[in-house]
Amino acid sequence: METFTVPTSRRTELVDISREVAAIVAESGVREGMAYVYCPHTTAAITINENADPTVKSDFLNHLAMLVPVSPEFRHAEGNSDSHIKSILTGACQPIPIAGGKLVLGTWQGVFFCEYDGPRRRRVHVKVLKG
């Protein structure tokens, strides 16, 4: 398993990590298989979506904030329950097929690290499996 660090600079932010993941796949030498991109944090997540128009990222984060507002009913003492809920909704792991030694991503798709309680230094694990 390979690991890299993602420094984030805002409380909520989507960071394109496609290049880092692609480099790990290339270094693995695996031609056919799966790459599992995994985030070991409870207030962050991994997703795949459009990396062409940056307004997709801002629309997503703004709308997610409306779907999961900070609530006075939250009991979690750390005060970041909205971040935990966003992490649960987005998911900690994304499996991506590998074909011809490359990630199978659509023309407009990128792999994103989702920060929901930054800024922090985060880790991303990538497990490449042959098969």
Q: Which residues bind to Zn ion, rule: CB under 5 A? A: 78, 80
Residues ≥6 apart with Cβ < 8 Å to 52: 108
CB of 64 to Zn ion, least distance (A): 17
CB of 6 to Zn ion, least distance (A): 19
Neighbours of 131 (CB within 10 A): 7
Instruction: Pick between residue 32 and residue 78 the one whose CB is nearest to Zn ion.
Output: 78
Six-digit token string for 17: 């990590």
CA angle 83-45-117, nearest 5°?
30
Six-digit token string for 65: 């904030």
* Nearest residue to Zn ion on Cβ basis: 78
CB of 71 to Zn ion, least distance (A): 14
Instruction: Pick between residue 8 and residue 51 the one whose CB is nearest to Zn ion.
Output: 8
Instruction: Pick between residue 80 and residue 90 the one whose CB is nearest to Zn ion.
Output: 80
Six-digit token string for 82: 């909205």
